[in-house]
């Protein structure tokens, strides 16, 4: 029965294919018949075309729908050096210009300072939070905490900076209201102090990302063998000891991989948030490579130097590439976990 059903389906598809082929053949024959002109029409059409071409050639103008008639030889140039309309090759001049600039040291130091501060403050938080969340017994409380801590990740950078400016405003913000209520005096403006920029930038980033960053570690912790936890509990290990001796060793390979990847982005501090929080009063600590590249290219207006900005961006990428290779090599030398 099943065999007959398969044969019927195969026969149906064969008949359908033959019908399609016959329809397409008939349409092609009808189109050829209608499009075939008579001999007199072809002769008259060719004569008209020749007359129009002669008329256009006499006027030294190209007829519509035809390629231009060039009576002089064309000289073809291939490559940058043989084309005078292209700017000459300047070699490493843009790199030398950046290295000699007074902003070279400032942008490099500021970028490394912000990146290292963010790494030291923000990298352990998702790990600690994941270990604490994994050890929670109450399922509903655990889900509620996860939902609350995941939400800041979906706040856009523009909205986040707006929240920071409203909360830490020295007059109408929560910060200004609390300090004035406790001391009776108006607090200083944090956005006017260069030293406050670094702390506001880093800790607002930690608040936004630590919940979302813990998802990866929570997924790894699901691979922990429950029998090990039960055996440790029977042997008298408390909750903290089970976390230290069972849960944390499972996370170590993932922690190393994440650390290598973070070191590869050491020189790539986010542009948008820094640029939105930047002002003339904190510029000496907030001018980083990405904002400097923007100001030298798109933000430069008529004075934009795209070649110079491209050289700075390339220099930044090369440093990140070298860092990720060195850190990966060190991780491979002192342990078994590495990217390659």
The pLDDT tens digits for 109-138 are 999 999 999 999 999 999 999 999 998 888
By the 8 A CB rule, do 313 and 293 touch? Answer: yes
By the 8 A CB rule, do 331 and 258 touch? Answer: no
By the 8 A CB rule, do 176 and 170 touch? Answer: yes
Taken in order 273, 277, 278, 283, is the CA torsion positive or negative?
A: negative
The pLDDT tens digits for 204-243 are 999 999 999 999 999 999 888 888 888 988 888 888 888 8
Task: Find all residues with CB under 8 Å of 40, minimum gap 6, and list them.
Answer: none
Rounded to an integer, what is the distance from CA 97 to the centroid of its chain? 28
Distance CA 63, CA 55 (A): 9
DSSP assignment, residue 75?
P
The pLDDT tens digits for 38-49 are 444 444 444 444
By the 8 A CB rule, do 179 and 267 touch? Answer: no
- Global pTM value: 0.70
Residue with tokens 């960053």: 213
By the 8 A CB rule, do 272 and 249 touch? Answer: no
Q: Percent of the chain, pLDDT > 90? A: 44
Domains of the chain: 93-334 (1.10.3720.10)
By the 8 A CB rule, do 146 and 211 touch? Answer: yes
Q: How many secondary structure helices (H) and strands (E) does the chain include?
A: 16, 0
Q: For residue 23, count other CB atoms closer than 10 A to its CB.
A: 10
Distance CA 153, CA 141 (A): 20
Distance CA 132, CA 167 (A): 28
Joined together, the tokens standing for residue 84 give 């005078």
């Amino acid at each position: 029965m099943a065999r007959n059903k398969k044969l019927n389906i195969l026969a149906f598809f064969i008949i359908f294919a033959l019908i399609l082929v016959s329809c397409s053949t008939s349409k092609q024959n009808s189109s050829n018949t209608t499009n075939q002109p008579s001999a007199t029409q072809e002769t008259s059409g060719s004569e008209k075309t020749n007359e129009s071409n002669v008329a256009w050639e006499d006027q030294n103008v190209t007829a519509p729908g035809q390629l231009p008639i060039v009576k002089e030889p064309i000289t073809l140039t291939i490559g940058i050096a043989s084309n005078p309309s292209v700017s000459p090759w300047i070699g490493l001049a843009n790199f030398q210009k950046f290295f000699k600039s007074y902003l070279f040291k400032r942008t490099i130091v500021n970028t490394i300072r912000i990146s290292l501060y963010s790494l030291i403050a923000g990298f352990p938080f998702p790990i600690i939070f994941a270990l604490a969340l994994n050890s929670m017994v109450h399922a509903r409380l655990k889900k509620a905490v996860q939902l609350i801590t995941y939400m800041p990740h979906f706040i856009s950078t523009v909205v986040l900076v707006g929240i920071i400016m409203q909360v830490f405003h020295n007059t109408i913000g929560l910060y200004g209201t609390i300090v004035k209520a406790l001391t009776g005096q108006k607090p200083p403006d944090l956005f006017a102090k260069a030293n406050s920029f670094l702390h506001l930038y880093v800790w607002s980033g930690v608040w936004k990302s630590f919940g979302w960053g813990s998802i990866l570690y929570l997924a790894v912790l699901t691979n922990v063998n429950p029998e090990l936890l039960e055996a440790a509990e029977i042997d008298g290990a408390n909750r903290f000891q089970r976390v230290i001796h069972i849960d944390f060793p499972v996370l170590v390979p993932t922690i190393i991989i994440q650390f290598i990847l973070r070191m590869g982005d050491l020189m790539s501090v986010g542009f948008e948030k820094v640029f939105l929080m930047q002002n003339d009063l904190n510029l000496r600590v907030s001018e980083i490579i990405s904002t400097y590249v923007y100001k030298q290219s798109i933000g430069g207006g008529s004075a934009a130097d795209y070649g110079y900005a491209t050289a700075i961006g390339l220099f930044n990428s090369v440093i990140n590439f070298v860092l990720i290779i060195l850190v990966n090599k060190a991780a491979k030398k002192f342990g078994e976990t590495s990217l390659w």
